[in-house]
Amino acid sequence: MPQAHSAKQEALDAIQRLPDTADTEEIMYRLYVLENIRRGQQDAADGKTETAEEVIKDIQSW
């Protein structure tokens, strides 16, 4: 359960760093970015990454 607290605290910290004039859309976007960073960090920790060469190969196939 400490991870949920950590995620909550990170969200609160991110919101507090926004200007007082931030609207709901900006707040939601900041939380969306924060969550995607968290997921990326977790994937990296779990070894779920691709090499730069694999990414370039995937992009070239588009």
Distance separating alpha carbons of residues 51 and 49, to the nearest angstrom: 7
**Position 7 confidence tier, pLDDT thresholds 50, 70, 90:** confident
Q: Work out the average pLDDT over 37-62.
A: 93
The one-character DSSP state at 19 is -
Q: Work out the average pLDDT over 31-59.
A: 93
Both tokens of 60, joined, read: 């070239």
Q: Which of 14, 6, 20, 5 is nearest to 33 (CA)?
A: 14
Q: What is the pLDDT of residues 8-44, one digit of tens each?
A: 999 999 999 999 999 999 999 999 999 999 999 999 9
Q: Specify the pTM.
A: 0.68
